[in-house]
Amino acid sequence: GESVGLHLPTLSVQEGDNSIINCAYSNSASDYFIWYKQESGKGPQFIIDIRSNMDKRQGQRVTVLLNKTVKHLSLQIAATQPGDSAVYFCAENNGSGYALNFGKGTSLLVTP
């Protein structure tokens, strides 16, 4: 079936570098996408979202890019910090209402 997937299960970056986490989706009916950060022992924390009528959205140190042509979503984190170490999930509204369809997650490890 259609699903949201992530290209890399783990990503290791040095403190201060920029991080890019990628996500592919296949449901062309999806019109809303969210990135979440989940730290150990906690629930997913909202980072940033984007609607399908946009191709870029910026937050504090984070940018989400949406390429509808190739059904690709990315999260860019500028000047990555140790506190950014977590698992990052992309999620899509699957077009059938209020359910979010999550990818498997990418573990980001920030090394000093």
Which parts of this chain interact with another protein (CB under 8 A)?
A: 32, 34, 36, 41-46, 49, 89, 91, 93, 96-105
Least spacing, CB of residue 75 vs another protein, in Å: 16
* Cβ nearer to another protein, comparing 14 with 45: 45
80 close to 19: Cβ distance less than 8 angstroms: yes
* Cβ nearer to another protein, comparing 18 with 28: 28
Least spacing, CB of residue 25 vs another protein, in Å: 14
* Cβ nearer to another protein, comparing 9 with 82: 9
Least spacing, CB of residue 103 vs another protein, in Å: 7
